[in-house]
Amino acid sequence: MKKFAAGVIVTLVCIIGGEYAYFAGGFAPVVTASRPLRFKRKLAHMAPNAALKREFPKTVPIEANEANYPAGANEYLTDTFSHLFLGHIHRDRILFS
């Protein structure tokens, strides 16, 4: 059992040391045009995806049908879009139908 525990510890130390040497030695890609590191996208999205799954409502209060699509687009255009891109124009002056 002691040999197994020692093997696990040595393996972990080698992996961590190898990663440190990889980054400290300058082998990691630093140019924006270079390929991203393996699993970078997966690791970067793990926490937000878990939070979204946990906080996402189980039932949706608005039914998805043809009548609600234009209403949602109108709400977006009059509220969100006007605040983000047309901040100088008051939202009551924008009429969409």
Residues 61-85 pLDDT 10s: 888 888 888 888 888 777 776 666 6
Q: Report the percentage of the chain scoring pLDDT > 90.
A: 21
pLDDT at 59 over 90: no
In one-letter notation, the amino acid at residue 1 is M
Specify the pTM.
0.39
Q: Any idea where the domains of the chain sit in the sequence? A: 1-56, 59-97
**Numbers of helices and strands, H then E, in the chain:** 4, 0
Element (H, E) at 54: helix 40-55
Q: How far is residue 94's CA from residue 35's CA, in Å, rounded to a whole number?
A: 44
